[in-house]
Amino acid sequence: MIRILNENDVDHFIKIRKDSLQLDPKSFGAMPNVKIDREQTIKDLKKKDEENFILGYFENEKLVGILGFIRNHNKKIRHKGYIWGVFVYQEFRGKKIGDRLMQECIERASNLPGLQKILLSVSHISQNALYLYEKLGFEIYGTEPNAMMWEGERIDEIFMQKVIF
């Protein structure tokens, strides 16, 4: 089941977010040991709306996948939305959970008046994610070589967009 997370999901969200950073540190810019403030996260989840949300995929009431979406309120860049923080636990991969989360996000975003494209970035190491995004119609528009360094390894960041108008 996919639904938008709210303040009642705070503990589940904090757990999966921390796990994503620790289990897959090469895929995210945040540090694996980042402190996530529970009270601030509750406030943030309460403020979510149709233009700024976190989707959660639940299996047997366990949050096993997440995807964030945000649309900037700045008038000059309001035509763009951004996907961030996509993660599915390893043991649930291969079940099309990431695909379903992405499709749900694209559908929701496509219904936002004036939104023309969705942007995301992905580590070059995450080949399965890159394949999924390309399959869903995202196109590469740039790459930042050595965008991150993790334990001596250089990680390129690939920038992708999907035009939806």
Mean pLDDT of 13-22: 96
- The pLDDT tens digits for 33-45 are 999 999 999 999 9
- The pLDDT tens digits for 129-150 are 999 999 999 999 999 999 999 9
Query: Per-residue confidence at 165, pLDDT binned at 50, 70, 90?
Result: confident
Neighbours of 139 (CB within 10 A): 11
- Residue 100: CB partners within 8 Å, gap ≥ 6? 2, 57
Query: Per-residue confidence at 112, pLDDT binned at 50, 70, 90?
Result: very high
Rounded to whole angstroms, how far apart are CA atoms 144 and 119?
15
Gyration radius (Cα) of the chain, Å? 15
Rounded to whole angstroms, how far apart are CA atoms 100 and 78?
25
DSSP H helical segments within 6-72, as ranges? 10-23, 38-46
Rounded to whole angstroms, how far apart are CA atoms 75 and 84?
21
Least confident of 39-48, 100-109, 111-120: 39-48
- The pLDDT tens digits for 59-106 are 999 999 999 999 988 999 999 999 999 999 999 999 999 999 999 999
Rounded to whole angstroms, how far apart are CA atoms 123 and 108?
25
> DSSP class of residue 49?
B
Give the three-class secondary structure for 114. coil
Per the CB < 8 A criterion, the answer to whether 123 and 26 are in contact is yes
List the domains of the chain with CATH numbers.
2-163 (3.40.630.30)
